[in-house]
């Protein structure tokens, strides 16, 4: 199935593969502006930079904010290969991202519908649209292969 986010997810998957090659968990992310143009990208860099906040989503949000010239990314879309964790969901909400599209579900730490649903929590002042499972087989395979190679 081809989605409107296929090109962005292709780039995110390539970034995820780069992360895995450098020893980080293979997760990649891109940010699209309202016109669908990629304005930020990132991959997991925790191992490379020794930064606990070096998740793909945070790296991509920082890059997009730099291009945008401000932290408020309302109207933007984050496309990421793995369901965001609690930390990343918080960063997404703080940046006012309007839509999150992800590949693989994360039953252990996901905060966009699996473990938690922070991105759509009505108790919070801001919420994001969530579209999960886009090219999930590819994203899941990257993660599975990465962890199997380390066992």
The catalytic residue positions are 57
Q: Answer yes or no: are the C-beta atoms of 56 and 19 closer than 8 Å.
A: yes
Q: Angle at Cα 67 formed by Cα 61 and Cα 68, nearest 5°? A: 85
* Helix, coil or strand: residue 114: coil
- Of 110, 128, 102, 112, nearest in space to 13 by CA: 102
Q: How many CB atoms lie within 10 A of CB 23?
A: 12
- Determine the Cα–Cα distance for residues 89 and 109; give it in Å rounded to an integer: 11
**Cβ atoms of residues 9 and 81 within 8 Å:** yes
DSSP 35: T
- Specify the pairing of strand 129-131 against strand 99-104: parallel
């Amino acid at each position: 199935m081809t989605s409107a986010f296929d090109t962005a997810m292709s780039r995110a998957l390539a970034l995820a593969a780069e992360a895995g090659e450098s020893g980080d968990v293979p997760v990649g992310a891109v940010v699209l502006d309202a016109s669908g143009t990629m304005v930020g990208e990132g991959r997991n860099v925790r191992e490379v930079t020794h930064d606990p906040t070096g998740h793909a989503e945070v790296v991509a949000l920082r890059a997009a904010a730099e291009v945008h010239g401000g932290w408020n990314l309302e109207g933007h879309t984050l496309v990421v290969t793995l369901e965001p964790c609690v930390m990343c969901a918080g960063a997404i909400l703080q940046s006012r991202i309007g839509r999150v599209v992800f590949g693989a579900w994360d039953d252990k730490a996901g905060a966009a519908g699996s473990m938690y649903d922070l991105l759509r929590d009505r108790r919070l002042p801001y919420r994001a649209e969530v579209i999960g499972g886009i090219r999930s087989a590819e994203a899941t395979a990257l993660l599975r292969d990465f962890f199997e190679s380390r066992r």
